Amino acid sequence: MDLFDKFDPIVELRASLPFEKADPFKVVMDEILSETEALINGRRTILAGTNNYMGMTFHQDAVDAAKKAIDDFGTGTTGSRVLNGTYGGHKALEATIADFYDVEQCMVFSTGYQATLGLVSTLGGKDDYVIIDADCHASIYDGCSMSNATIVRFKHNDVDNMERRLKRIPEGANKLLVVEGIYSMLGDAAPLKEMLTVAKKYGCMTIVDEAHSMGFSGKNGRGIAEAEGVEHLVDIFVGTFSKSVGTVGGFAASNHPKFDVLRFVCRPYIFTASLPPSVVASADASIKAIKRSGNRRAHLWENANRLHAGLRGLGLEIATDKAESPIIAVKMPDPMVGTRFWEELLMEGVYVNMAAPPATPAGIFLMRVSVCAQHSTEQIDTIIERFGRAAKKLGLIELPKF
């Protein structure tokens, strides 16, 4: 037996999908024209499947800061944070994030994946309990696998189910609740106020991953906890720079008095080369810009609401009853229809994410659409129109007149 044989069912499923003109797993962005458009196979294409929610990838402050950092510090650090990999920019970025979240301490990681993986795997130890939402990100699940803790899952966004699970945990045990602000596949928000209130009732430490809510939720863009007024119930915020911030990297921020010890015990932090100076500088500039970007946030929500209403108006099945985030998930009846739908959209000049299990919950097949603050109203309307054409062609709806 070959060690690769275990993947044969996946290979067979992929081979059975009816791609003719494009493959969603091999899309190449030949040229990025703006935050919202790219050339794909020589065709000008609206980007409606990125996580560039706040449209910061071409923000002039971030671009200028990255260029200057390359000139001043070169292309990389060639070392981890605990060796030669901490430059002045890394500490400045940590201070910017701490100020952004109004906390005392912050650690910057090389990816958002490592931030959640590192926190969960390090804090969860023998005789501890880690309580997670069933739809949590793979990085949280992997952190759980690496920890020695007992893992307790509850039904997605189900506060009552979460409390029932908490009641079964032995009194006096150390407990860590890990939830997300916005869930990346369906775009739905967690009922954080209720969840965190219950968690504190049972003595849980709490981690909230604001990866997909940072930038646009809350008055200052700090995420769902800020929007719901429950930041005081969050012990540690984790997040990423690869969504609204527009670059790559991750962070954890906290007021816990012993938080800094994580720099010496968190393996994904200790044993990974630190972020290049250019990335650090652009993230710093971007976060500062996000803090003062109220108008951009407002336009992003206008785009999300318009797209959600437009796609629902076509008669398509949307995962949420209203726009809870810039992520609008359109359910497909099966993989074959979903594959053809995605291909039709790309041929029409609209790129979205084709999302399939195991990335999606409950075996759902999705067209995952995500909007950007820089999308124009005309672009949103074009996306809706081209969704309508594809749905009509595949017999999913009767196309209304535009």
Q: Catalytic annotation on 243?
A: yes
Is 393 annotated as catalytic? Answer: no
Positive/negative CA dihedral, 327, 50, 254, 63: negative
Catalytic entry in 59, 137, 212, 375: 212
184 a catalytic residue = yes
Residue length of the chain? 402
Residue 112: closest CA among 91, 143, 133, 148: 143
CB atoms within 10 A of CB 257: 9
**In this structure, how many other beta carbons lie within 10 angstroms of the beta carbon of residue 146?**
16
Catalytic residue among 137, 243, 308, 375: 243
**Catalytic residue (choose from 110, 139, 147, 184):** 184
Residues recognised as catalytic: 184, 212, 243
